[in-house]
Amino acid sequence: MMSSLLSCTSYQALLNYGESQRIPKEPQAINNYRPITVQANDILSIRVSSTNPIVAEPFNLSGEEGSGYLVNSEGYIDFPTIGKIQLKGLEIEAVKTKIIASLAPYFEENPIVQVRLTNFRVNVNGEVGSPGTFTSDTERLTVIDAITLAGDFTNYSARDSILIIREENGMRSFGYIDFSSPDLFNSPYFYLQQNDVLYVKPNKTVVSTVRDPATRFIPWIGAAVSLVALLISLRRL
């Protein structure tokens, strides 16, 4: 009885991705990955280089390695020499292609253009080891990566309903990820977008146990029972 009182959560509740027999045995095609697209207020690192550095120099921000291009609310950046370039909604590879095309009249051969999204970050809060905002060096970030960056789940985490809040194209959407099911790998929220917010709520069963004042006395009851048993044993000697 004492062990049942002290039990806060089940073994099954602590499993991720479901039981082993539910995990597909064969490789699956990845159909839910959607490449990052440029949004308003994104910051892009853009560096132009060429076999002739002097020709490329006017197309880079002075004194910096091509960082600091803010995408305005209308989706434009102000590019040196060229002026405004519309980039909103484009994937990173498409951004590179568009910039190379805009630079073509100024170069005898196509320049090398490097583009990186520098503000790819997600916020993870709630029942995780280290809540906070995390910046990623890669644009292919999964919900598993985010939870790992945040110090993994705690003993009080509800793993079956991770809330993901996403803002995109002036709209806010809400989705849930279930870490107790292998279906999470096919979720449209499995791959994260820039500025996603993840909330891990506490497990109701565990919280009610922790918050129940009666449970505070369980350790003392256990100690008292042990002491009584010891005294009875000594008296029989």
Q: What is the pLDDT of residue 227?
A: 61
Distance CA 26, CA 68 (A): 44
Asked if residue 214 has pLDDT above 60, the reply is no
* 15 plus 47 within the same structural domain: no
Q: What is the pLDDT of residue 7?
A: 45
Give Cα 71 to chain centroid, integer Å.
22
- Among 1-5, 111-115, 121-125, 204-208, name the one with the lowest average pLDDT: 1-5
Quick: pLDDT tens for 49-82: 998 889 999 999 875 544 689 999 999 999 999 9
Asked if residue 3 has pLDDT above 50, the reply is no
Per-position b or e across 156-167, b if 16+ CB within 10 A of its CB: bbbbeebebebe
Give the number of domains in the chain. 2
Is residue 197 included in any domain, yes or no?
yes
- CB-CB neighbours of 197 under 10 Å: 17
- Among 36-40, 81-85, 105-109, 216-220, name the one with the lowest average pLDDT: 216-220
Q: What is the pLDDT of residue 67?
A: 66
Quick: pLDDT tens for 45-57: 999 999 888 999 9
Structure tokens at 162: 């991770």
Distance CA 190, CA 143 (A): 5
Is residue 233 included in any domain, yes or no?
no
* 101 plus 150 within the same structural domain: no
Is residue 108 included in any domain, yes or no?
yes
Domain boundary among 117, 147, 162: 117
Domain hosting 152: range is 2-20+30-35+120-208
Asked if residue 103 has pLDDT above 80, the reply is yes
pTM, whole model, 2 decimals? Answer: 0.73
Asked if residue 218 has pLDDT above 60, the reply is no
Asked if residue 120 has pLDDT above 90, the reply is yes
Q: What is the pLDDT of residue 4?
A: 43
Asked if residue 162 has pLDDT above 90, the reply is yes
Q: What is the pLDDT of residue 64?
A: 53
